[in-house]
Structures are given as C-alpha cells and as structure tokens.
Amino acid sequence: MKEETAIHVKNLTKKFGAFTAVNTISFKVKKGEIFGFLGANGAGKTTAMKMLIGISTPTSGEATVAGFNVNTQPESIKKNIGYMSQKFALYDDLTVKENITFFGGIYGLTRKQIKDKRSQLVEELGLQKIVNELVSSLPLGWKQKIAFSVALLHNPKIVFLDEPTGGVDPITRRQFWEMIYKTANQGTTVFVTTHYMDEAEYCDSVSIMVNGKIEALDTPKKLKEQFKASTMNDVFLKLARG
Amino acid sequence: MSISVNNISKSFKGKTALKNISFEVKKGELFGLIGPDGAGKTTLFRILTTLLIPNHGEATVVDFDIIKDYKSIRNNVGYMPGRFSLYQDLTVKENLEFFATIFGTTIEKNYDLIKDIYVQIEPFKDRRAGKLSGGMKQKLALCCALIHKPKVLFLDEPTTGVDPVSRKEFWEMLKRLQNKGITMLVSTPYMDEAAICDRIALIQDGEMLEIDTPKKIVKHYSKTIYNVKANNMYQLIKSLKSYQHNYSVYPFGEFVHYTDTRTDFSPIDLQHYLTSKNLKNISIEITQATIEDTFMELAK
C-alpha cells in the first residue's frame, strides 16, 4: 500500500537580505500524521510555516502542500488547509455563532452546510450555553478549542496549528490534544508547533529546527534513542544548545 | 515578610477575578504563582504593584501598605509585565537610561546587579527596542526592572511563548538574582518551572488551590498513578476513558497517567481490558505524581 504524502518540502529556503531565515530544509509529512515542528524562538519556524501556508514566497526550493505547489499555486493551498495560531484565531467582537458563520462563509460553505456544522460543533464541544457569547468573554481554553474546530470547518486535508496551547490550563491542553488525535485519526494531517515538550511526545514525527536548518527529524522514540535522552525536553536542550 | 496578602478580592463589572486571596512571601524567597491564562495572576500583580485597587482585603509589600504607601512601593519594587512595555522607539541603552533616571539613579551605580544579563544585549545597545528578538526584549525588560535595585521583583509570565532552552536560561538568571538578595514573585503557566521555586501557589479561577513547596505539593496527591502505554495513543485514551473504573485519564508525554476508583485495583485487570480492545505492547507501571497531576486533581 502506498502511503500518501501530505506535505513534501525540498530545499526550501527563505532569505531576508543577507539573513537566511530558512536554510534549504527538506522533509515529508504523511497523510494523517501528527507532525511536530519544533525549534527555539528565532530558529525559522514561523517563516517556514508561512511559506507552507502560501502567504510567503520562497527564495528558492520547492514544496508541495496538499498536492499544490507553494510557488505557483498558493491560492489553492489556502483553500485546502486550515490554520490557527495562538495570536489570531477568532474575532473577539463577534459571538461564537457569528464566528462560525463568518469563517464558514469565507471557506465557501453553503448556508445549509454552515448550519449543520454549527449544530454539530455546539453538540460536540458542549457550546449550548456560550454560542451567543462574545468570543472576548470566553476563557482562552474555550477560544482555542473553538478556533481549532473553525479551522476544520471546510474539511481541509491539512491543518496548521501554531502554538495552539500556549498558556492554556493543563486539563484543556489535554482535551485539545484529544481533538488533535481524533482529527488525525480521521485522516487529516496535523502540522503543529509547541513549546511544551510533553506535547512533542504526542506527535508521530518531530522535527527540530536550529538556526534555519532542520537538525533532527524522527519519531520521538527514535530521537530519544539517538540523543541518549529520556525525554523530548532533554533532546531539545541537547540540540538547541549545541 | 516581603509580601503579605490578606483576603484580597477583586472583580471587574461583576466578574470575579480574585476571591479572598491570602499568602505571604518571605524575604529572599523565589515564589511561583502557577496557573493558566485567566486564573487572575495579572490582576494580583497589578494590585501588588499599586496599579489597581482591590475591592476587599489588605496587602503590604516590603512593609508598605499597597494603598496608603503606594509611592514608597513603586520606589522599592521592580515590575516586568507580561506584555513587552518598554519604549519601542528608544534604543536599548536609551531605555535603560530612561528607567535609571526616573528612579533617580544611574546605570553605573547598579551595574553590578544587571551586568550578567546586560552583557548579553550590549552588542545591540544602539538598536531600537522594537527591533529586538523576543529573547533580547525579555532580557532588556529584566534589566530595566532591576536598574533601581528593587527589594522585590514582580515578573508576570516572563517565559510564556519562550522556547525550552531560553526558558531554562531565564530561570538560571532568576536564581542568580535570588542569590543577590532579591525577593521574587514569578508567575508562569508552565508547571515544570514550578520545581525551581522555593514555594509555589497554584491558582485557578481567582482562587488559591494550594500553597507549599514544590516537593510537598506533590505529596498531597493521594491516589496511585499508573503510567500506561500501548501501540496506539488515541485508542488507548479512548479505551481508558470508557473503562468503567477510571478516575482520571490524562495524556502525559509518551504515557497516559491513569488512576482508578477502586482501592483494590489490579493492573492485570486493566491489562486484560486493554488487550480486549485490540491494543498491543501494553505496559502499566506505577509512577510519581507531578505538580501538573496535583494541579489537575485540585482543579477538577
């Protein structure tokens, strides 16, 4: 059986003037995989991610995301992926219901589809009491769970999550990861960045970026063996400290 | 006592942010305030740094009353807010000079205190603060909060969104400051950082859940925790959650932390159950509770 590739990156590079933010990185992500994209602040993760989601043009190199080329088909990529970040996910001054309707519309869902999706989300996440509340009034954990579901409204092939659990309480953080597992289990590829190293252990594969390059890429188990470390935190400290 | 808080409450437009908070921080102590976003940590910081007035209760910082003696407190404490709040269009050096001047001192006078940290950003001293990387901003903010040699330092989530390496380095810096006699109140959402503090308070929804040393806090956890592992994490979590005797099921790195409702729990029963759910390579072993386990149990 042939395994499908969701993301295929080959020698991807991004330079800003004389500074190379992303330096000839290459990797593959399989369909339905949870791929952890780790690295220290300033290592180039965000720049790399921006190229993969079609909002930044590479200086050189290639990447295919959900079957589309980042250099020539960035608009098709945007339609076929979901994205959420810690910094921006939902509109604070719209209600939960309005956010779902708004993003559903952006993703081109019909009114009927939006209505069905909305009922489904309300049911699954237990939003009955808060569906008409402004997003600004909700705890961060709730916002992030809803934002993740909104990023999946159009059944994207891949979802990109940029530090989705930063600052979230430990129980909600785990509920969030159960949602990630469920999503991956249904065949959606999950590309996720995090600073919680216990979360790195939840990933099928983990890559670690250091100064614009991918210095390690494997399953958490093999990375721990390779770096003779007992936890992913130790692997990270060994690598990023040089 | 460096900080003494007695029954502080604060609400905003009917929404309670803090409920009857009481605790003390001893002189020279590194005290951690551990809790998620929205727990009330920032409100508490703002009250103790005299930027907000509580609805009820009293507090003193270096023996000054937070309401009557607010001016004295401002001269004696350093505050590093969660959001970068230096002047973005001043350079590194200008920011530092500015803060030294408003506190009536000079960089030279207290250079000893910030030296270790400042040398790391000195190569960029003519760069505007707004153009610094996250880690650099954080170091500059710490220097500015220290330049008047405060007796107490308040650090509100200094490591949120910071990678594990920089986080470790930052806590090492705090440890060195502690050796120089500065009392610190630090908040963080990262439970693993709690272990570095002398004492910690766990806070959620405006209430203190527990205050103790990190070692003693985990001893308050009364149940036996098992590390459970199998070939498929998602199936494992689902199966454990549908197991009728489960008390708690939390993913924890490569394991799931499992506790059972029965006192005569036998791992073999669980092993059989998981096997019946088609899981393979099952292992079940007793493990120690962590601060995160304790927090989740208290917050349940």
Cβ neighbours of B37 in A, within 8 Å: 139-141, 167-169
Q: Establish if A221 touches chain B: CB-CB under 8 angstroms.
A: yes
Q: What does the pLDDT read at residue B253?
A: 87
What is the distance in angstroms between the CA of the first residue and the CA of the last residue of chain A?
A: 39
Mean pLDDT of B162-169: 86
Cβ neighbours of B161 in A, within 8 Å: 41, 86, 163, 166-167, 195
Q: What does the pLDDT read at residue A150?
A: 95
Q: What does the pLDDT read at residue A1?
A: 45
Q: Establish if A138 touches chain B: CB-CB under 8 angstroms.
A: no
Using the beta-carbon criterion (under 8 Å), do B161 and A86 form an inter-chain contact? yes
Using the beta-carbon criterion (under 8 Å), do A181 and B157 form an inter-chain contact? no
Indicate the number of domains in chain B: 2
Please identify, among B189, B219, B249, the residue that sits at the C-terminal boundary of a domain. B219
Asked if B95 and B35 touch (Cβ cutoff 8 Å), the reply is no
List, for residues A147-179, the tens digit of each pLDDT value: 999 999 999 999 999 999 988 888 989 999 999
Same domain? For B94 and B242 the reply is no
Using the beta-carbon criterion (under 8 Å), do A163 and B161 form an inter-chain contact? yes
Closest alpha carbon to B156 in B175, B141, B169: B141
CA distance B251 to B258: 9
Mean pLDDT of B58-72: 96
Using the beta-carbon criterion (under 8 Å), do A236 and B164 form an inter-chain contact? yes
Using the beta-carbon criterion (under 8 Å), do B135 and A172 form an inter-chain contact? no
ipTM of the complex in this document:
0.83
CA distance A233 to A231: 5
Contacts of A192 (CB under 8 A, 6+ apart): A34, A35, A36, A37, A160, A161, A164, A180, A199, A203
Indicate the number of domains in chain A: 1
Closest alpha carbon to A210 in A173, A178, A238, A233: A238
Its domain, for residue A174, covers: 5-240
- Which CATH number goes with the domain that contains A137? 3.40.50.300
Mean pLDDT of B195-220: 94
Of A43, A181, A195, the CB nearest to B162: A195
Same domain? For B132 and B161 the reply is yes
List, for residues B213-223, the tens digit of each pLDDT value: 999 999 989 89
Contacts of A32 (CB under 8 A, 6+ apart): A6, A184, A185, A187, A188, A189
Same domain? For B138 and B62 the reply is yes
Same domain? For B132 and B57 the reply is yes
Same domain? For B35 and B159 the reply is yes
Low pLDDT (below 50) residues in chain A: 1
Cβ neighbours of A39 in B, within 8 Å: 163
Its domain, for residue B262, covers: 225-299
Q: What does the pLDDT read at residue A169?
A: 85
Q: Establish if A127 touches chain B: CB-CB under 8 angstroms.
A: no
Same domain? For B246 and B202 the reply is no
Using the beta-carbon criterion (under 8 Å), do A141 and B134 form an inter-chain contact? no
Above 60 in pLDDT, residue B62? Answer: yes
Of A43, A166, A233, the CB nearest to B161: A166
Neighbours of A213 (CB within 10 A): 15
Mean pLDDT of B149-175: 90
Cβ neighbours of B39 in A, within 8 Å: 169
Same domain? For B231 and B210 the reply is no
Annotate B157-188 with DSSP letters as a single string.
STTTT--HHHHHHHHHHHHHHHHTT-EEEEEE
List, for residues B272-291, the tens digit of each pLDDT value: 999 999 999 999 999 999 99
Nearest residue of B to residue A232 by CA position?
B253
Q: Establish if A167 touches chain B: CB-CB under 8 angstroms.
A: yes
Residue with tokens 């309401």: B67
Using the beta-carbon criterion (under 8 Å), do B234 and A240 form an inter-chain contact? no
Same domain? For B173 and B188 the reply is yes
A81: left (phi over 0), alpha (psi -120 to 50) or beta: beta
DSSP β-bridge partners for residue A177: none
Q: What does the pLDDT read at residue A3?
A: 67
Please identify, among B177, B203, B219, the residue that sits at the C-terminal boundary of a domain. B219
Using the beta-carbon criterion (under 8 Å), do A170 and B253 form an inter-chain contact? no
Same domain? For B257 and B214 the reply is no
Kindly report which listed range (B20-34, B42-56, B166-180) carries the lowest average pLDDT score.
B166-180
Residue with tokens 């197991």: B243
Of A166, A182, A195, the CB nearest to B164: A195
Please identify, among B219, B243, B263, the residue that sits at the C-terminal boundary of a domain. B219
Same domain? For B112 and B238 the reply is no
Same domain? For B110 and B244 the reply is no
Above 70 in pLDDT, residue B210? Answer: yes
- Which CATH number goes with the domain that contains B257? 3.30.70
Same domain? For B18 and B145 the reply is yes
Q: What does the pLDDT read at residue A203?
A: 95
Using the beta-carbon criterion (under 8 Å), do A140 and B37 form an inter-chain contact? yes
CB burial readout A89-107, b (16+ within 10 A) else e: bbeeebbbbbbbbebbeeb
